Structures are given as structure tokens and as C-alpha cells.
Amino acid sequence: MTKMTRALAVAGAMMLAGSAFAQPVQLGTLTITSPWVRPTPPGAPSAAGYLSIVNHGAAEDRLVGATTPDAASVQVHEMSMTGNGVMKMRPVPGGLAIPPGRTVTLAPDGYHLMIIGPRQEFKPGERVPVTLVFKHAGKVAVSFPVANGPVANGPVANGPAAGGSAAGGQAGGAMPGMTMGAMPGKAPAKP
Amino acid sequence: MNRRFFMSVGVAGAAALVGIGEYLMITQNAPPSPFTSGVGGAFSLVDDNSKRFTSRDLLGKPAMIYFGYTFCPEVCPTTLTHMSAWLHALGPEATKLRTVFVTIDPARDTAAKMKEYLSGFDPNIIGLTGTPAEIATIARDYKVYYKKVPIPGGSYTMDHSSFIYLMTAKGKLDGLISYGEPDTKAMAALRRLLRG
Ligand SMILES: [Cu+2]
């Protein structure tokens, strides 16, 4: 490989990586970062979307809902696990509060966008256009990459990216034996 | 009681705890805990090829059983993904294990739906569904809690127990794997189960 072609290859790789980065989206005093949607199993009747919202303003806002042309409807849900190992999932009544000066993260084991009735499978590398609806700031369009974890700080393809989450969830790396692509879980350790 | 406690006892000590502290924790309003005697029992369900699958079909090989539903966007696909990874890691040994995903939402999870959904996971995983009464029977016998909860828009979610049950070839409870259990611990439990 000549120096020239190597330079081109590096530039190309950087562009590819760059395209996988999600740019923060600004809406008034709100900044939306790290959106991602979990890949869905075939025919899955629901999907989960995650993101972080920073409120730089002086007043509380609320994430009250969302829409996407790629699914029937979207709700804001909270997942919780009881001491008895019972999983519960509930709509967040009145929407999710985004207090002033705070960052609220929707992440595995906590809040998620419940995407009901996806019109097709969500596959890694694809994007889901979502319009977030806030009580005060209004609406904003955000492109959610389909990935196995937040991609704002790293490329999609390489499994766990930086980030982590307030709710304690983690992005899992690619695990062997998966026919549908890795999905994040609580236990990213390799078997 | 926190999850860490459950994770620490989940695999190793489930049987040892039978009738001890865990039993005291159960009140009439609480979901049933699997940490009681007599987990398992006779059932008759339908597999994802629409064939009858009964408790007899479970015997003769150790089994790994998970109860969930396809409308679940996070815990169930994550668990099935981990189960698939464990089966892959077991290699040829995976076929010495019967791996079963039982829906607790039979109204939506038909045999055809289960088949389509499970096509995204390890091919060793058998999907089981049935009538609401048939599902109620296996859930009762395995001490699986599940409850329908309506959500806006006319749909509903299901509260449900998230344990993976490890059963011996003779149909006795060998242990449980909790949600979020490290893969290394889960693999150790599966290898122990396979050694018999
Ligand atoms: Cu949900």
C-alpha cells in the first residue's frame, strides 16, 4: 500500500466512524445526546429506545411522549425489578421530569422509550427517526441509531461504547452465539 | 431484600434455602417465591411448531427454563440473548440441555409468533405457549408470578418473574439464575447441571 492509498484508507475509516457518531441535538435549553434503539428480534411487537437529556435551563421540563413513522406508537416507560425478581414495566405518569441543571438518562434497567408495534425489524446500523415531545420545549426530531449501546462517544460497530448510565445499565459487547446481533444486558462479562 | 442477595444465592443456594428464611418472606400479597419446595409439575403446552409438549418431554435431559413474553422490549430479549450466548459457549454440550422459553402472555404469543421471535436466537431454544389455563398451571407449579397490566392505547404489559430455572433430568429444581447474573456464574451453573 502506498503512502497515498494508506492516507485515503485512514481518512475513509475516519469518515465511516464519524457517520456512526450521533451529534447532540439542541432544543431550547435542552440537549439530547446518546440516542440509540435496541435491535429487535424477528417480529418483535415492541422495541426500546434510550437517550440522555440535559436541562441547561432554570425551569423543569417533561418528556411527555414521542412519535415515529417506523412504529405504531411510543410511550415513556419505566422498568423495575422487585426483590422477588419480578420485572415490572409501567408508563411514567405525566411524563418524565427533566429538572433544571440536571441530566436525565433513559437506559437499560430504568427508563426507556417503549416503541410499540415496529413496522419492521430494527437492525444494527439502521436509524429510527423519532420526534420527542416535551411539555414546554415542544418537539424535536432525533435520529436514533440501532445499536447495542449508546454511540455518541464511539462507533456503533465496536460493541460497548463509553457512556454508562445513571440507571446502572450497561451496554453489552457482542456476545458469541447470537443470531440477531448483540443486545445490551446487565451482565456484559464473557462466558 | 435486595437483588444482590438473590444473585448470591440464586444459583448455588436455592435448594438449600427451601423452607428456611425465604419461606418466611412470603406473605399473601407478595408474588410467590420459587424458593419453596415443590417447584415443577405436570403440564401440557404447545411448542413453536404447534406440537404438544408436555412435562414428560422435559425429562431425560437437564433443562433451562425461562418465562417471559415477546412484547417485553428489554428484560426478555436480553435474557434470551444471554441464554443464546451460553448455549453457544457450551458448544456441542448445548444439545444435552433442553432450553425452553415459556410465554406468560399466551393471548399474544401464539406458536407462530414464538417461532418467528425465537428465530433470532439460538436454535436450541424451544418456545412454549398454550391456553390461558395451561399457562396458569405451569406458572403455578413453577411459582412464576405474572400479571396483566393495561397501558394507554389499549395495550398491556406483563409483570413477571425473571428467574431462569435449572431443572435436573428428573425434573427437580437444581437452581435459579437471576436477571443480571454474571455470565461466568451462569456458565458454571450450567456446566454443573450438565455434569448431573
Ligand atoms: Cu416498556
The SS3 of residue B116 is helix
Q: Which residues of B touch A178 (CB under 8 A)?
A: 81, 84-85, 88, 121
Q: Do A185 and B157 touch (CB under 8 A)?
A: no
The CA radius of gyration of chain A, in Å to the nearest whole number, is 17
- Give yes or no for residue A159 having a pLDDT over 70: no
Instruction: State the average pLDDT for chain B.
Output: 86
- Give yes or no for residue B67 having a pLDDT over 70: yes
**Is A106 inside a domain boundary?**
yes
Integer CA distances (angstroms), A109 to A49, A89, B74, in order: 12, 10, 8
Residue A130's domain spans which residues?
Answer: 28-162
ipTM of predicted assembly, 2 dp: 0.84
Determine the pLDDT at residue B19: 31
A138: cell is 415542544
Candidates B85, B108, B149; nearest CB to A176: B85
Number of domains in chain A: 1
Which residues have a beta carbon within 5 Å of ligand 1, which is an ion? A 77, 89, 114
**Is A171 inside a domain boundary?**
no
β A138-145/A127-134 pair status: antiparallel
The answer to whether the beta carbons of residues A64 and A89 sit under 8 Å apart is no
- Give yes or no for residue B52 having a pLDDT over 50: yes
Q: Do A87 and B159 touch (CB under 8 A)?
A: yes
Q: Do B81 and A87 touch (CB under 8 A)?
A: no
Q: Give residues with Cβ within 8 angstroms of B168, minimum separation 6.
A: B62, B174, B193, B196
CA dihedral (A85, B136, B176, A37) positive or negative? negative
**Is A133 inside a domain boundary?**
yes
**Is A55 inside a domain boundary?**
yes
- Give yes or no for residue A160 having a pLDDT over 90: no
Determine the pLDDT at residue A46: 98
Cβ atoms within 10 A of the Cβ of B74, count?
A: 25
| Prediction pTM value | 0.80
Confidence grade of residue B62 (pLDDT, cut at 50, 70, 90): very high
One-letter amino acid identity for A152? Answer: A
> For residues A56 and A60, what is the distance between their CA atoms, to the nearest angstrom?
10
Question: How would DSSP label each residue in A101-162?
Answer: T-EEEE-TTSEEEEEEEESS---TT-EEEEEEEETTTEEEEEEEEB-SS--TTS-GGGS--S
Q: Which residues of B touch A186 (CB under 8 A)?
A: 78, 179-180
Q: Give which of B43, B35, B63, B14 is closest to B166, Cα–Cα.
A: B63
**Is A129 inside a domain boundary?**
yes
Confidence grade of residue B37 (pLDDT, cut at 50, 70, 90): low
State mean pLDDT over A30-36. Answer: 97
Q: Give which of B132, B78, B80 is closest to B105, Cα–Cα.
A: B132
Candidates B79, B89, B179; nearest CB to A191: B89
Q: Give residues with Cβ within 8 angstroms of B48, minimum separation 6.
A: B111, B112, B114, B115, B118, B126, B127, B128, B129
> For residues A121 and A104, what is the distance between their CA atoms, to the nearest angstrom?
28
Where residue A102 falls (left for φ over 0; alpha for ψ -120 to 50; beta otherwise) is beta
- Give yes or no for residue B12 having a pLDDT over 70: no
The CATH number that applies at residue A153 is 2.60.40.1890
Give me ligand 1 centre to Cα A114, in Å.
4
The predicted-structure confidence for A99-150, as pLDDT tens digits, reads as follows 999 999 999 999 999 999 999 999 999 999 999 999 999 999 999 999 998 8
Q: How far is A57 from chain B (nearest CA, A)?
A: 30
For the packed helices B75-90 and B183-195, what is the interaxial angle rounded to 10 degrees?
50
Give me ligand 1 centre to Cα B38, in Å.
33
The answer to whether the beta carbons of residues A154 and A167 sit under 8 Å apart is no
**Is A10 inside a domain boundary?**
no
Give me ligand 1 centre to Cα B28, in Å.
28
Domains defined along chain B, listed by start: 1-30 (no CATH), 38-195 (3.40.30.10)
Which one is predicted more confidently, B34 or B89?
B89
DSSP state of A92: -
Q: How far is A17 from chain B (nearest CA, A)?
A: 26
The predicted-structure confidence for A49-91, as pLDDT tens digits, reads as follows 999 999 999 999 999 999 999 999 999 999 999 988 999 999 9
**Is A87 inside a domain boundary?**
yes
- Geometric angle at alpha carbon B162, from A78 and A187, rounded to 5°: 80
The answer to whether the beta carbons of residues A139 and A25 sit under 8 Å apart is no
